[in-house]
Structure 1
Amino acid sequence: MEKGFLTPKGRGRVNGLMEKQCLVVEDFCMATSSNVDVFGSLTNDRHVNSNEAAMKYGGAPCGNHDEPASCDTNKASIDPNGHVLTENTKTVAQIPETKIATGLHRKNINIPLNCFLGNLTQKCPDYYYPKGFKMHDHAHTSVPLHTCPDFFRWIHEDLRPWTETGITKEMVESVKGSATFRLVILDGRAYVENYKGGIQTRDLFTQWGFLQLLEGTQGSGDDDTHDIVFPDWSFWGWVEINMEPWDLVLKDLDKGNKRTEWIDREPYAYWKGNPWEAGHRQDLLKCNASETQDWNARLYIQDWDRESKEGFKQSHVGDQCPTGKNQSFFIILFSRITFHIYSCRFKIYIEGSAWSVSEKHILACDSMTLMVTPHYYDFFTRGMMPLHHYWPIKMDDKCKSIKFAVKWGNNQEEKVQQIGKAASRFIQEDIKMDNVYDYMFHLLTAYSKLMKYKPTVPENATELCSETMACTSEGFVKQLMDQSTVKGPANVSPCIMQPPYDPQTLNSILDQKANSIKQVEKWEKTTLNKLVKSKNYLLSSL
């Protein structure tokens, strides 16, 4: 992939490698103003806080915020007239005049959308926030700053390919042919130029996510390209599969974990999904239980068309985690086995045509995740460790690998529960929406420093804001936007970004991951050899 391309998570590799998702942020001139230029063909989206950007770097007044995204900054001061003065540029940003209470938790003031004209809303407000708003900074409060989760440090590694050359307009313009839209954020306001229709409503919620960054970005990559990963669109909801915004889903998943104790769950590995996404998923189905062979896996095909027609009664995302007997239903695998399909001790994650949205939902369950060797990574997965957050499964020998993992796990109950809970805790605490916004903010801030030009509003672009999107939407789309709208600025600044890994530390992390996987493979091989010797001994004794 050529330098200067910012692609979203999962399916997205730009420059003709894959066309389903590609995001290119042309500019986010954080040094002086909140400027972004994005080419997008997205299925995933993440948003940065325009409030933070505007106040920290002297852009336009803050935009709407939903989940905790901070309009405050640790590098700003407020003069007696209610202006924010940045330490670096001394740029003045006019902000309204309403005080926000401080505290140990993020608090947002509620500034509702201006939908006075309903679905006839065609114009963005002149001011996203009322005049008279005053924000207190950490310099003037006792609210402690907090350090970003460790996986944020991968932002430095993702941007390393451009540290010497920077990112030029020519680099970015070269991907225009594969984009479905172009998004420009200039001086705190967003403009979009649509080229061609994207997949489902993914482009829509990708753009919506950017607005929540502004009133409040997306990603998966692989080791073969210089992709920069952003959170995907599903953090703000997924219309086509009836998925609510991530903060609501997290609560459902947490409740699901408490319904059935791990020891009371079925001692099998569970997976349900669309096998037609990729050949390796179809290959996984060969590991299903049959009359002659049981690989300790219980695998099911997800028919989204049928689910849509039946009202998604059996596909609620919150039921990813174990359900109790009164919530579950039964599946007859064959004449002798019946069980609660969600209530399993192990959950399988396997990629589709690229990364899958399901990854974070599976990991959020405290049933230990069996992760089939992934080719892509999500923006947070590089912060996880085999045998601590998940159990690695070999791609080229799935069935035996799954069977061994389940057998090992059922004999090591305490360790398996520790792994499952570590992953669930990681998702619940480190991948909450506060951190999603902070990650986007820090990534675009770092990206902007590499830009070699300042973007302009495209000739055919129209201004985009939450009002023009949410006020004119209907049905479930409107519901998701209402649920995920950033209500207003928060009283907490973004987390403190840690410095890049030094080479020794980075190599140590990579070696630890590789050694953990090798350890599992060694255990599998040793166990298999014992079984072979045992069978040979029995045969020779006959």
Structure 2
Amino acid sequence: MGSIVHRNPIPKPYFPYFFFYVLLFVVGYFIISSQISPMGARRERELQNYPQKEVEFSPINCTAYSRSEKWDSGIGPTTIEEEEEDGDGKNENTCPEYFRWIHEDLKPWAETGITREMVERGRENATFRLVIVGGRAYVEKYSEVFQRRDVFTLWGILQLLRWYPDQIPDLDLMFACEDQPTVFIGNYSGPGPNSTAPPPLFRYCGDDDTFDIVFPDWSFWGWPEINLKPWETEMKELKEANQRKKWIDRENYAFWKGNTFISMPRYQLLKCSRSTQSKLRVYMQDWQEEGKQGFKNSNLADQCFSRYKVYIEGIGWSVSLKYILACDSMTLMVKPHFYDFFTRSLVPMHHYWPIKDDDDMCKSIKFAVEWGTTHKQKAQAIGKAASKFMEEQLNMDKVYDYMFHTLNEYSKLLTFKPTIPPNATEISLNDLACPTEGLAAKSMMDTLIKRPSFSSPCFLLPPFSPFALDYIRTRKDIPIKQIDMWEKNMPF
């Protein structure tokens, strides 16, 4: 590929604009950080009940296990030896900013509380009901889901109960494992005493039109059906790949690989690859065929070879985002409609480059690559900021802390004492692990918590103030408008 020569060079930002942009971030930092309450004695009280000495759990024993019909996959038991674990536990710290969205997700019930009737109304859209009583988990399953999303979600919850033993309060919730949120705001926003309160329903993503409560997805503990290893393992391999091939030595184009036929935006992306061949490469993924070949072309660490990687949603949000952001490449994020639990604190032009989702998508991608070609250091810094965010603010310690705080804050809103439903079944590690084999079994053993945490969860900051929320919206809007202005001035 030859070098790109611009008849009219990409415009450089005006100094007054960027001075204002920097000033906005400084002011915003003080707006948000000023809400942090003193931790002191309150923090010490929270730490009193956490284990201060090392305790190691007994390993899973499937030898004498009698498989439950409810969770029986028809596969015989597998024995995998545990590996020794190093480290002295995580350091105590303040939770990342995105944890504060927990308060926003639960705000619809902040004044009314959550009644048993509200919970039960979520059943029609739920995959299962989870009840935790006395640190033990009970599940009532309502429907089958694609692959094993429910199993690995419950596996993650059981690990949380081991990570923070005796610290997860009694609770009763409904969980949906489908892609799109369903608790629409418009159905519950009517005024008056006869208006119906929304049912609290947990799932993997939400949007601005729904009340669904977001929660970490199953792939953090592995997605064996497509050969995705647990997040901790994948992140380590991606970091090693980043060290092997530096950004400046990578291919100078945007890359995306996946199923193009599940949404119109992805089909549009495929069309863009034909009109901007030197700027974008799209590879269609046939998962059935890939499975027959042993997933030899699907290793994520082998896909960190381009300077730019595209993220685009499918039916709903996509679990692929965290792997793309961890690749050191500048992420070109096609305007998302959905969000998961950590994405609302990502900042355009700092963690990613925003791409239009309309007819200007192709032009937007072309401009992003040309901007990066002209501003290599800035483009590289955006990729590095994203991978740093993934490594430091989305490690498994933080994932478990987010789960802990979400469930803990949710439980505070319950107006009733959770009890075990008559049709619920207690689930254990054996119920989920013993009927599995192969990649599924390995993923479970690799993510098995072997001892409790040595420290408390990170310190959850209070809810955002209205001023902080306005600042968060502004810090996203300003760079998006700046890029839009740049694109309009380009003579494509």
TM-score range, shorter chain: 0.7 to 0.9
**1:319-360 Cα shifts (integer Å, max 9, x gaps):** 232xxxxxxxxxxxxxxxxxxxxx211000000011000000
- 1:346: which partner in 2? 308
Amino acid at match of 2:466: P
* Counterpart contact for 2:138–2:425, Cα < 8 Å: yes
In the alignment, is residue 356 of structure 1 matched against residue 302 of structure 2? no
Q: 1:75 aligns with which of 46, 61, 78?
A: 46
CA distance in 2, matches of 1:73, 1:486: 25
Shift of 1:515: 1.2
CA distance in 2, matches of 1:173, 1:418: 48
Shift of 1:467: 2.3
Shift of 1:253: 0.8
Matched ranges for 1:271-310 at <5 A: 271-289=256-274, 294=277, 296-310=279-293
In the alignment, is residue 376 of structure 1 matched against residue 338 of structure 2? yes
**1:34-58 Cα shifts (integer Å, max 9, x gaps):** xxxxxxxxxxxxxxxxxxxxxxxxx
* Counterpart contact for 1:368–1:419, Cα < 8 Å: yes
Q: 2:301 aligns with which of 303, 306, 318?
A: 318
- 2:418: which partner in 1? 455
- 1:117: which partner in 2? 63
- 1:389: which partner in 2? 351
Amino acid at match of 1:521: D
* Counterpart contact for 1:229–1:378, Cα < 8 Å: yes
**Match of 1:494, SS?**
coil
Q: 1:367 aligns with which of 329, 333, 352?
A: 329
In the alignment, is residue 100 of structure 1 matched against residue 100 of structure 2? no
Shift of 1:465: 1.0
* Counterpart contact for 2:62–2:430, Cα < 8 Å: no
In the alignment, is residue 246 of structure 1 matched against residue 231 of structure 2? yes
CA distance in 2, matches of 1:516, 1:159: 29
**1:254-291 Cα shifts (integer Å, max 9, x gaps):** 0111121211111100000111221111111001146x
CA distance in 2, matches of 1:180, 1:227: 14
Aligned residues: 393
Shift of 1:76: 5.0
**1:117-152 Cα shifts (integer Å, max 9, x gaps):** 3543669xxxxxxxxxxxxxxxxx9x9631111111
In the alignment, is residue 190 of structure 1 matched against residue 152 of structure 2? no
CA distance in 2, matches of 1:119, 1:305: 33
- 1:147: which partner in 2? 94
- 2:157: which partner in 1? 210
* Counterpart contact for 2:128–2:142, Cα < 8 Å: yes
* Counterpart contact for 1:257–1:366, Cα < 8 Å: yes
* Counterpart contact for 1:371–1:391, Cα < 8 Å: yes
Q: What is the TM-score of this pair, normalised by structure 2?
A: 0.76
CA distance in 1, matches of 2:53, 2:409: 28
Shift of 1:493: 0.9
CA distance in 2, matches of 1:497, 1:181: 28
* Runs of 4+ displaced beyond 6 Å: none
Shift of 1:251: 0.2
**Match of 2:255, SS?**
strand
* Counterpart contact for 1:289–1:296, Cα < 8 Å: no
**1:60-107 Cα shifts (integer Å, max 9, x gaps):** xxxxxxxxxxxx985254xxxxxx5x9xxxxxxxx9xxx626xxxxxx
Amino acid at match of 1:353: I
CA distance in 2, matches of 1:345, 1:515: 24
CA distance in 2, matches of 1:471, 1:347: 38
Amino acid at match of 2:348: P
**1:355-390 Cα shifts (integer Å, max 9, x gaps):** 000000000111100000000011111111000000
In the alignment, is residue 521 of structure 1 matched against residue 484 of structure 2? yes
- 5+ residue gaps, structure 1: 1-71, 78-83, 87-94, 102-108, 124-140, 322-342, 532-542
Matched ranges for 1:459-470 at <5 A: 459-470=422-433
- 1:160: which partner in 2? 107
* Counterpart contact for 2:352–2:386, Cα < 8 Å: yes
* Counterpart contact for 2:47–2:456, Cα < 8 Å: no
Q: What is the TM-score of this pair, normalised by structure 1?
A: 0.69
**Identical residues among aligned pairs (%):** 53
CA distance in 1, matches of 2:129, 2:155: 13
CA distance in 1, matches of 2:45, 2:400: 16
- 1:19: which partner in 2? none
Q: 1:226 aligns with which of 195, 202, 211?
A: 211
Amino acid at match of 2:233: L
Amino acid at match of 2:56: N
**Match of 1:347, SS?**
strand
**Match of 1:214, SS?**
helix
Change in 2 beyond 3 A, CA 1:527/1:434: same
